[in-house]
């Protein structure tokens, strides 16, 4: 009888340990899958230029935007609007333009307007952020000179 009690206790303990392990791993995996699905957000994106990242929080205003692309250069005036913190938006562009190898030329602020000016070898970009009453209106002026080295050789 005593052996039976010991065997029963060992089986109960093993069962409890096994249940705890199984419960812990299944809840862990289900919580991680729930976290992954709830934490998923739309990523930031590139629009017309593959090195000017646009935050997902501002919306593209197509009717106020303009694009020009020919054999000599590519230019765009891209307008965006969204309810964001302006200083966070300014910091976002400062960080991501640096990551995309842009050089900051100037960072100006006047009243509610921020103007960021960036350059690369054959590109120039001005980002104008206006802190409106209910939203931040952002205009990006970008120009890329195509094949600048061959046009200089022809002259």
Q: Which of 21-30, 41-50, 81-90, 113-122 has the lowest mean pLDDT?
A: 21-30
- Is there a contact between 58 and 84 (Cβ–Cβ < 8 Å)? yes
What pLDDT sits at residue 51?
87
Structure tokens at 145: 């000179």
Residues 24 and 61 in one domain: no
What pLDDT sits at residue 101?
94
Which CATH number goes with the domain that contains 112?
3.30.310
This prediction's pTM: 0.67
Whether residue 25 is predicted with pLDDT greater than 90 in this model: the reply is no
Residues 74 and 2 in one domain: no
Q: Containing domain of residue 112, as a range?
A: 45-154
Residues 85 and 136 in one domain: yes
Cross-strand partners of 115: 108, 128
Residues 21 and 75 in one domain: no
What pLDDT sits at residue 37?
44
Q: Which residue has the tokens 């030329």?
A: 105
Residues 98 and 29 in one domain: no
Quick: pLDDT tens for 113-150.
Answer: 999 999 999 999 999 999 877 789 999 999 999 875 55
Cross-strand partners of 86: none
Quick: pLDDT tens for 94-114.
Answer: 999 999 999 999 999 998 899
Residues 23 and 81 in one domain: no
- DSSP-derived 3-state class of residue 115: strand
Residues 58 and 79 in one domain: yes
How many domains is the chain partitioned into structurally? 2
Residues 98 and 114 in one domain: yes
Cross-strand partners of 53: 46
CA-based nearest residue to 124, from 137, 140, 107:
140
Residues 101 and 134 in one domain: yes
């Amino acid at each position: 009888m005593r052996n039976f009690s010991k065997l029963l206790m060992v089986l109960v303990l093993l069962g409890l340990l096994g249940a705890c392990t199984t419960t812990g791993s299944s809840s862990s995996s289900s919580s991680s899958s729930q976290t992954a699905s709830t934490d998923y957000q739309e990523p930031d994106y590139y629009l017309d230029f593959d090195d000017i990242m646009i935050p997902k929080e501002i919306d593209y205003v197509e009717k106020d935007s303009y694009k020009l692309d020919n054999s000599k250069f590519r230019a765009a005036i891209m307008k965006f609007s969204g309810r964001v913190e302006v200083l966070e938006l300014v910091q976002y562009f400062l960080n991501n333009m640096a990551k995309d190898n842009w050089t900051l030329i100037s960072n100006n602020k006047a009243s509610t307007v921020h103007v960021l000016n960036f350059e690369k070898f054959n590109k120039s970009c001005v980002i104008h952020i206006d802190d409106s009453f209910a939203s931040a209106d952002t205009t990006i002026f970008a120009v890329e000179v195509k094949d600048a080295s061959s046009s200089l050789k022809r002259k």
